[in-house]
Amino acid sequence: MNSYSGKNILITGGLGFIGSNLARALLSQGANVTLVDSLIPQYGGNIFNIHDICDDVTVNICDVRDSFAMEHLIQGKDYLFNLAGQTSHLDSMEDPQTDLDINAAAHLSILDTCRKENPDIKIVFASTRQLYGKPDYLPVDEKHPTHPVDVNGINKLAGEQYHLLYNSVYNLRACALRLTNTYGPRMRVKDARQTFLGIWIRLLIEKKPIKVFGDGLQLRDFNYVDDCVKALLLAGTKDDANGKVYNLGSTEVIGLKDLAKLMISLGLDGNYELVPFPPERKSIDIGDYYSDFSLITNELGWLPTIKLRNGLKQTLDYYVTNHSHYWSE
């Protein structure tokens, strides 16, 4: 039996990378899906992300900062997947107030609206490993101290904590997943605002060198978007998750230089070059990072299944075919 069959779902950031992939999975289970997205150009929303399912979902173009619209949209929903956010670390340093408004204040407003208008809703919040900052130890588990290195991380931490607070004080069922580097079809690739992997894909397809900052030895873990979606779906249906945070991660850990080599080996002619860190990036770089995700495995049964090589190949194939919908030549 599909857990979401016949359920009414609201996805904020629904025209973005993870939201549009999540929508497909929910439709396959027979859910009624409403997508909310501002389609602000510098963020990740892209109407092409739902071109093949547009007749099967309800789309509302509005900003999560619009409390009146959100009050209307939240009513009658069984689940809220709260994925909307400003993801650029550099943008958060240059325009901290907007980052605060989107990544913290808007979520507090949404939670309070849920408390008043729909207290039975279940909420899954997409948090980030960026909360941890530069790791004190590896792999990073959920007990690791949080010391964000930029405004974005601080505001995402506040947004996460609001969800846990409303769970504990008001019994509003909510949990958070701390996502690591997520990649796959439908992510923003025109620039590095969403993930450095996006701009690497664009450079590779355009036959330009991939720029790897520093010595390229920085370690990272990656999740293919389908694995991320599975974690979100599990967290939504499991009440054992309420009030908790879970790391996502991978058993495959790779240095960035080796990642560039792997991407080049997948069939597109290309090369990479090591370049010095721009000062504005060096000051907020976290060094090595990879997660201990054993808690979500033990409690919810989640494990990543898509190998990095296979996921990268599927991602590159998608953009070779569809790149005209993601950046202008």
The tokens for 132 are 């941890």
- 179 lies in a domain? yes
Domain with 57, as residue range(s), is 8-183+222-250+290-306
- 34 lies in a domain? yes
- Please, which pLDDT band fits residue 1 given cuts at 50, 70 and 90? very low
Question: Is the pLDDT score of 272 beyond 50?
Answer: yes
Q: What angle do CA 194, 114, 226 make, to 5 degrees?
A: 35
pLDDT in tens, 10-61: 999 999 999 999 999 999 999 999 999 988 877 778 999 999 999 999 999 9
pLDDT of residue 38: 86
Residue pair 97/65 in contact by the 8 Å Cβ criterion: no
- 214 lies in a domain? no
- 178 lies in a domain? yes
- 14 lies in a domain? yes
- 213 lies in a domain? no
Residue pair 249/144 in contact by the 8 Å Cβ criterion: no
Residue pair 100/155 in contact by the 8 Å Cβ criterion: yes
**CB-based contacts of 71: which residues, under 8 Å, 6+ apart?**
113, 117
For residue 237, the surrounding DSSP H or E stretch is: helix 225-237
Entry pTM: 0.95
- 37 lies in a domain? yes
Question: For the CA atoms of 232, 234, 238, 242, what is the dihedral angle to 10 degrees?
Answer: -30
- CATH number for the domain spanning 75: value is 3.40.50.720
- Beta strands (DSSP E) in the chain are 8-12, 32-37, 58-61, 79-82, 122-128, 174-179, 181-183, 210-213, 219-224, 245-247, 253-255, 272-275
- 312 lies in a domain? no
Q: What is the count of structural domains for the chain?
A: 1
Question: Is the pLDDT score of 74 beyond 50?
Answer: yes
pLDDT of residue 194: 65
pLDDT in tens, 129-180: 999 999 999 999 999 999 998 899 999 999 999 999 999 999 999 999 999 9
